[in-house]
Chain A
Amino acid sequence: MAQNQRPTSILESLGEEIVRIVAPVSICMFMVVILVSILNSSSSSSAATVSSIATIAYNESSSDSLWDKFTGALLNSLVFVAIITVATFVMVLLFYLRCVKFLKYYMGFSAFIVLGFLGGEIALFLIEDFDVPVDCFSFLVVLFNFSAVGVLAVFMSKMPILVTQGYLVLIGMLVAYWFTLLPEWTTWALLVALALYDLAAVLLPVGPLRLLVELAISRDEDIPALVYEARPVVYHESSPRDAVQTRMRVWRERNEISGNLPAVLDSVSEGNVISESSVDEIETSDSNPNSESSVVRAEEGQVLIRNSELLVPLIDIGGNVQPHGEEVSASNENLMLEGIGLGSSGAIKLGLGDFIFYSVLVGRAAMYDYMTVYACYLAIVAGLGITLMLLAIYQKALPALPVSIALGIMFYFLTRLFLEVFVVQCSLNLLMF
């Protein structure tokens, strides 16, 4: 980092943002691949497939013909998508009727079920596989602790950010592993169907997710949903003398922001003035590197102290990519399960459903071979990058599933059909690899 003040480059700010969302997705996929490799190699290949709502229409068995499997998988995925659509519409209705408390309790309850029961089952699988001599009391205490703290992390908004993010990734991992236990054709058909559903639900004007987002925007509320929010990027002052890192934290109420903008700007234009704003926790970020002000954040107001020559601090509300100058007017969207958007603090939000289905794809690829894992992982990350780019361009909530799933599936089949043959033949003939 240069010692003279230089604005952070696009690469640093944008790259940091992207890394903060790609890293947890990669961690989730990696853990699912590990789980799949450990648990599926030890048990027999004809493990009992889990019967769930996704196999309600047709339960695949290896003796069926190709066409039967295909139609069965299609039926399964249609049923599943129909159920998801109904559930989403119910959620839109509840949100419309302002039953936000009920939604929050439901969220906490589902987190408890996933962490407690699903997590417990997978832990039991691992214990049986490795013959870990743990007794039931310690196991129950640990599981209870784990799920209780997880519910609190998901429920309450004020846990350590790392803990909340970690638990969300864990929930995604557990659900994704459970989904990989579905029969193979059903899984692929399900992924395709869900990608199409995501596209429709977010972009069509009648889509439930779009309705949800518009409701949330019009009321300036956050949707109570399992959404992963990346830590907002702090724009460091490059000079080491500025000890305080100023950052922007936008609260949900945009009208408060616009109402207080003049107040803050007024206060800043005078020298050595201490002023207060009445909005909680709004800070201005000194993105102009030539300034030397520091911001001290008080309890419920804001104290701005300025020492020397100061240019008007840029109130950077769209903290995503500063050089592009994004505004907060477009950044207050978040989605229920699928979809990507900008959170109220300008950080990128990615729905947990995206985590889950990316990991399902990679987990399924892991069931075949590691070569497909690498190909699918790269495809998914590329798709995520494209989606983020589109997010920066269009500045509205976008579905994160379609591009990545399309690329992932395409690369899976291409790898399986062409690349594998090539690599195996080359290796057998000692040509390379």
Chain B
Amino acid sequence: MENSQNSNSNLNPNPIRIQNLVSSPIAVLWPTIDGSLGLSEEESVSYARRFYKFGFALLPFLWAVNCFYFWPVLRSRSFPRIRPYIVGSAIGFAVFMAIISSWALTFAIGGERLFGPVWDKLVMYNLADKLGLTGWS
């Protein structure tokens, strides 16, 4: 299922984080949570940007996946180009979750007392019955 479009033409090495050249372990910080199986830094920038922009299409889950994927970027500050997108995704996800959970909890806890007869029309199981969604059409 791998469908990488990496062209092997440009050989721009990303900055190598070398602590000590001689006889010591070289610590490389990967921007993705998959480590060496994941993306390199150049690709990460474009992917982080794309996830961030797509998340605005009512997809907070994509923002959450973005934060999860680039978790090392959030933990350490050594990826200045990727970080703004991830921080933006994290903030967006938090805001969205606040909105949705407050609405859902109000709806669930408030119930009929708060909403009146509209509650019965909005709740999902009634709606499913009315529209016959569970009839395995």
Q: Which residues of A contact B (CB under 8 A)?
A: 48, 50, 104, 120-121, 124-125, 127-128, 131-139, 141-142, 144-146, 148-149, 152, 157-161, 163, 181, 222, 224-225, 227, 229, 231-232, 241-245, 247, 249, 251-252, 256, 276, 278-281, 283, 292, 294, 296-301, 303, 305, 307-308, 334, 343-345
Which chain A residue shows the least CB distance to B8?
A: A280
Decide if A297 touches B40 in the complex (CB within 8 Å).
Answer: yes
Kindly state whether residue B98 has any CB partner on chain A within 8 Å.
no
Decide if B37 touches A161 in the complex (CB within 8 Å).
Answer: yes
In the A-B complex, the 9 residue pairs with the smallest Cβ-Cβ separation, listed nearest first, are A243-B25, A145-B61, A298-B13, A299-B14, A133-B108, A280-B6, A138-B104, A135-B122, A160-B69
Kindly state whether residue B94 has any CB partner on chain A within 8 Å.
no
Which chain A residue shows the least CB distance to B42?
A: A299
Query: B27 touches which one: A135, A243, A251, A283 (CB < 8 A)?
Result: A243
Most chain A CB inside 10 Å of its own CB: which residue of B7, B21, B68, B104: B104
Besides A145-B59, A301-B11, 18 other A-B contacts (C-beta < 8 A): A124-B124, A133-B111, A135-B123, A144-B58, A145-B61, A149-B65, A158-B38, A159-B65, A244-B25, A299-B11, A299-B12, A299-B14, A299-B41, A300-B8, A303-B13, A303-B16, A307-B22, A308-B23
B1-31 contacts to A, CB under 8 A, are 1-4, 6-8, 10-14, 16, 18, 21-23, 25-28
Decide if A222 touches B1 in the complex (CB within 8 Å).
Answer: yes
Decide if A127 touches B125 in the complex (CB within 8 Å).
Answer: yes
Give complex CA distance A305, B11 in Å. Answer: 17
Kindly state whether residue B89 has any CB partner on chain A within 8 Å.
no
Query: B103 touches which one: A128, A138, A247 (CB < 8 A)?
Result: A138
Using A134-B108, A135-B124, A244-B28 as known contacts, say yes or no to A158 and B39 having CB atoms under 8 A apart: yes
Using A50-B136, A158-B43 as known contacts, say yes or no to A148 and B62 having CB atoms under 8 A apart: yes
Which chain A residue shows the least CB distance to B14?
A: A299
Decide if B124 touches A222 in the complex (CB within 8 Å).
Answer: no
Q: Which residues of B contact A (CB under 8 A)?
A: 1-4, 6-8, 10-14, 16, 18, 21-23, 25-28, 32-34, 36-43, 47, 57-62, 65, 68-69, 100, 103-104, 107-108, 111, 122-125, 127-129, 133-134, 136
Give min CB distance, B32 to chain A, whole Å: 7
With a cutoff of 8 Å between Cβ atoms, the chain A residues found around residue B123 in the complex are 133-136
Give min CB distance, A167 to chain B, whole Å: 11
Decide if A138 touches B23 in the complex (CB within 8 Å).
Answer: no
With a cutoff of 8 Å between Cβ atoms, the chain B residues found around residue A344 in the complex are 2
Give complex CA distance A70, B117 in Å. Answer: 52
What are 27 inter-chain pairs, A to B, with CB distance below 8 A?
A104-B3, A121-B133, A127-B124, A128-B125, A133-B107, A134-B104, A134-B124, A135-B123, A135-B124, A136-B122, A137-B103, A141-B100, A146-B61, A157-B3, A227-B1, A242-B25, A243-B25, A244-B28, A249-B37, A251-B4, A297-B40, A299-B12, A300-B11, A300-B40, A303-B16, A308-B23, A343-B2
Give min CB distance, B68 to chain A, whole Å: 6
Decide if A281 touches B6 in the complex (CB within 8 Å).
Answer: yes
Give min CB distance, A256 to chain B, whole Å: 8
Give min CB distance, B116 to chain A, whole Å: 14
Decide if A136 touches B127 in the complex (CB within 8 Å).
Answer: yes
Using A222-B2, A276-B11, A300-B12 as known contacts, say yes or no to A160 and B62 having CB atoms under 8 A apart: no
Give min CB distance, A116 to chain B, whole Å: 12
Decide if B111 touches A222 in the complex (CB within 8 Å).
Answer: no
Decide if B37 touches A152 in the complex (CB within 8 Å).
Answer: no
Using A50-B136, A125-B134, A144-B58 as known contacts, say yes or no to A299 and B25 having CB atoms under 8 A apart: no
Decide if A292 touches B23 in the complex (CB within 8 Å).
Answer: yes
Query: B136 touches which one: A48, A142, A296 (CB < 8 A)?
Result: A48
Decide if A139 touches B124 in the complex (CB within 8 Å).
Answer: yes
Decide if B134 touches A121 in the complex (CB within 8 Å).
Answer: yes
With a cutoff of 8 Å between Cβ atoms, the chain B residues found around residue A281 in the complex are 6, 40
Which chain A residue shows the least CB distance to B30?
A: A297
Which chain A residue shows the least CB distance to B28?
A: A296
With a cutoff of 8 Å between Cβ atoms, the chain A residues found around residue B8 in the complex are 256, 278-280, 300
With a cutoff of 8 Å between Cβ atoms, the chain B residues found around residue A181 in the complex are 136
Give complex CA distance A174, B60 in Å. Answer: 23
Which chain B residue shows the least CB distance to A229?
A: B1
Using A128-B125, A138-B100 as known contacts, say yes or no to A160 and B68 having CB atoms under 8 A apart: yes
Which chain B residue shows the least CB distance to A345?
A: B2
With a cutoff of 8 Å between Cβ atoms, the chain B residues found around residue A141 in the complex are 58, 100
Give complex CA distance A243, B8 in Å. Answer: 28
Decide if A294 touches B1 in the complex (CB within 8 Å).
Answer: no
With a cutoff of 8 Å between Cβ atoms, the chain B residues found around residue A145 in the complex are 58-62
Decide if B136 touches A136 in the complex (CB within 8 Å).
Answer: no
Give complex CA distance A221, B43 in Å. Answer: 22
Give complex CA distance A251, B23 in Å. Answer: 30
Decide if B3 touches A222 in the complex (CB within 8 Å).
Answer: yes
With a cutoff of 8 Å between Cβ atoms, the chain B residues found around residue A256 in the complex are 8
With a cutoff of 8 Å between Cβ atoms, the chain A residues found around residue B41 in the complex are 299
Which chain A residue shows the least CB distance to B21?
A: A305
Give min CB distance, B133 to chain A, whole Å: 6
Decide if B11 touches A278 in the complex (CB within 8 Å).
Answer: yes
Give min CB distance, B69 to chain A, whole Å: 5
